[in-house]
Amino acid sequence: MRPNLILHVIAKFVIPLIILFALYVQFHGDFGPGGGFQAGVIFSAAFILYSLVFGLETAEKIIPHHWLRILASLGVVIYAGVGIESLILGSNYLDYTLLGSNQIAGQHLGILLVELGVGITVAAAMLILFFAFAGRGRE
């Protein structure tokens, strides 16, 4: 790929902002609009922009494929694990009330963890889709 100075400079400036915005959407989803799904997609968009500008090989050095597969499964495990944890604590599946000292704290922690699981799975799944499609053209 022919290096393009303008693209490189703009991408290096914009990518940290996109990741920061994704983290804001992820962890501020309780109060503002957004949540795990949107944050995951925005997060993966930053990496897709990186690999479009700097090439697939460079992007794969940052996040290797086996990491993405582990992360995609990890998100589902976190989500289902919160449910099992609440079962162990003696309430219904995915009822977060007993996770904290009172109901509000428990719900808060539960929602935060569940949204984190959603975000991790969505971000990894989107990147898996992108690398699978874009990686076909190289052979």
For another protein, the binding residues (CB under 8 A) are 25, 29-38, 41-42, 44-45, 48, 52, 69, 72-73, 75-76, 79-80, 83, 93-94, 96, 103-104, 107-108, 110-111, 114-115, 117-118, 121-122, 124-126, 128-130, 132-137, 139
Q: Which is nearer to another protein, 13 or 133 (CB)?
A: 133
Distance (Å, whole) CA 128 – CA 71: 10
Q: How far is the CB of 12 from another protein (least distance, A)?
A: 19
Q: Which is nearer to another protein, 12 or 28 (CB)?
A: 28
